[in-house]
Chain A
């Protein structure tokens, strides 16, 4: 059973009647770095003013996080009260966002923020660290009353360091006289290139880590003037004070704030209890800093080429080198390994969508031995959030034919000059899988990809074959998996994209989360969390054959009885069979009959 964290109501009725938020703005002292920082050292140039802590003036606060976008967004609307926010806040400043169940808790956080203490503990409702993007004033006049409304709208984005554009021109390296360390050149990266420009079975994980270290920086790495060592890439500077708010008081660089998790998650390392269970897959990387890794390295290998570093963002580079067809690469705000604090986190892992019956699927497709089993993460082993159904206020779930896939072909590197990497060999090796019975009913729905990360290495089974089956297991039967959105009472807990969510016996993958808090003109605070979900399968899906969600109860009454008996109680009451006078022979042909479309669960047999 995967680690599951229940989110339950904290009272019998409302869970939260007066939620609160905390916006802590960390503002640079010097905004004009061209003209106002001359003659002062760098540390002085990044000094900040007293944090600006907002707990009342915001009428709207919203945070969006999505696996599909590495940049989480923040927005708020501030009433112009005592403070002129248009002047007080500036693009490039930082803001941390907390959303909590109670206003009192927000006030306690406010005190800690002003004291320079951490506000990212597990129960602090920490929702993210953002860099301010826009600060705009809006002024509206009511044409009938002449009353003016005056707001300042602030937007921000997280993980902006990954948007850093790399500019590398080797000609500048060649001429040392022209070196300008004020830019983020990748000088001397060529040494690193030589180091790893050889065929390795798997080097994707090392490449990704190396890219992070050299483009974002790592702990203790300082960019110095005229330093031509490998660490010349600047660690991304952080304004003073932000580190303290995030429990890393000595942090001067964003690299010291972020956590990095790499590797295939596989099975949890132990049966953890408490909130450390969310990270019960990782060990310290052994390289210092905030790098953690799992027991199983990411698969794929490729060479590192300097030209890839020319005028691209760090994020696109990580995507490029991270074998994105196999791997999940996303940013989030996630509880740390100890389960105590929430940190900005980059996760690079294999896509964790392997079914419980993956091995059986392989043998059904002709696998001869277990060497054809690729390293993987079972979907149902991911940590789960179990949100109390009583907290759900809106739900829209279902299935879609858009997710139907019945043919998968994965091609790996094909170099016409290298006979070992010939395309025809891959097909001969069996790099495709088909669900023939679905093809003849629905036509071909292909999922065809090239994965350019496979020097043949030492694998016994051609990776094109191995990976095609791994991916097929992820995407086949997509039309049977549940997806949709739920909206619930705002979640103070650090629910995280990339984890799973269990609801009503179905385990979903969390694709995106949106936290929104607002105050209406009557002064009523509302806090809601909207979650997008995908890949929903039955929580009890066994190893021999899949068990699909919502396949058993063709009878509405029995479905609702189950809902009541298992304690979910999310469905409305039941109004008996709809055989009203004059409405004979309706939808129900035979009263209360139900026939499962899947392997029936024990408790749902007739």
Chain B
């Protein structure tokens, strides 16, 4: 009878190598919680390329009871896996002291599988609902077909009507509590009518939003404080109907180049107190006429010309014709002062 050398050619019972098999024939899908993260700069990180995680799993092994097992240096999946295309993210690690109490452990709850069945080569292939997560935040029955996700305070959801909402809550802690609730509340929503609302969530006077109403084909813009338009080139506003502007304060337009306000019909400029028109030369050109109307009309200028090529209105030879006390004509000559500011054409 052939006697094989033990350990070389002899057979080894499974019982004798159960520990080895546990380590290197570990094929079941496991569920656990991320407890540690080793950044690529960490000396405990093996691959030096992407973060690695320790995952504590709760395992039930048929007749061998249940236990918690720590899988070390697990990689996380990358959906695209390309040199150019990737999908990377960090998982949350437990910050509670009781990492084996899954109701209190606040790390990411994940699923892992072992490459080649080797415990040393564990891969986080996905996640499941965290046992400690508030059940009220889970999808409710009345919500119907619903998708919702959140990462570090950024929430996105598609509801049963197909409406998409992206909501900023501000950075969150491991329990999901936002760090800055004042900053949070901003959302972008595409509703079932196809309209888009970009809204800060502020209310009343502070309400700030941009709305694109697809049904009415309107765009609304509101700011709780200021609205600024800035363009390195041009800003064009075109309307088939009216363009209206109303300010409780001042309205100011300034152009470093030319400025033009034109109207194909009448143009009204109205000021309740003073209307100032100022320029190097101010030209008022009325094709049919110009009328200046007021209680007073004062032309405050060194010279006034009335008509083209006029001469000074009063000079030494200027004669005045009037009627004397007895009704007879009287002719008199100007003795001064003479005018050098007002010129009148004949």
Contact = CB atoms under 8 A, between A and B. Distances in A.
B202 interface: no
A475 B2 contact: no
Contact of B10 (A68, A315, A319, A450): A68
A168 B67 contact: yes
Contacts of A403: 2, 4, 9
Interface string A313-340: 1011101110010001110000000000
A588 to B, nearest CB: 29
- The size class of the interface chain A forms with chain B is 35 or more
Given A168-B67, A305-B72, A311-B65, A319 B17 contact: yes
A195 interface: no
Interface stretch (A225-233, A240-248, A357-365, A528-536): A528-536
Given A168-B67, A306-B70, A311-B67, A316 B15 contact: yes
Contact of B8 (A307, A320, A474): A474
A300 interface: no
Contacts of B99: 174
Contact of B3 (A310, A324, A413, A533): A533
Nearest to A497: B6
Nearest to A326: B7
Contacts of B1: 396, 484-485
B121 A415 contact: yes
A524 interface: no
Contacts of B120: 303, 413, 415, 452
Contact of B67 (A310, A317, A329): A310
Interface stretch (B18-26, B128-136, B241-249, B332-340): B18-26
A306 B71 CA distance: 9
A305 B67 contact: no
Interface string B96-113: 001111000000000000
B67 to A, nearest CB: 5
B118 A319 contact: no
Nearest to B72: A305
Contacts of B49: 417
Contact of A312 (B9, B22, B47, B71): B22
A511 interface: yes
B16 A316 contact: yes
B7 A307 contact: no
Interface residues on B, range: 35 or more
Given A417-B46, A534-B3, A316 B121 contact: no
A315 B115 CA distance: 26
B285 to A, nearest CB: 82
B119 interface: yes
B9 A311 contact: no
Contacts of B9: 402-403, 475, 478
B280 interface: no
A351 interface: yes
A305 B119 contact: yes
B61 interface: yes
A543 interface: no
B20 A324 contact: yes
Contact of B17 (A306, A316, A416, A534): A316
A478 B99 CA distance: 53
**Residue of B7, B18, B67 ringed by the most chain A CB atoms within 10 A:** B7
B100 A68 contact: no
B68 A328 contact: no
Given A313-B19, A321-B19, A415-B120, 5 more contacts: A174-B98, A307-B22, A307-B71, A316-B19, A416-B121
Please name the 3 residue pairs, one residue from A and one from B, whose CB atoms are nearest each other, closest first.
A307-B69, A320-B19, A171-B100
5 contacts: A169-B67, A312-B22, A320-B20, A329-B7, A483-B2
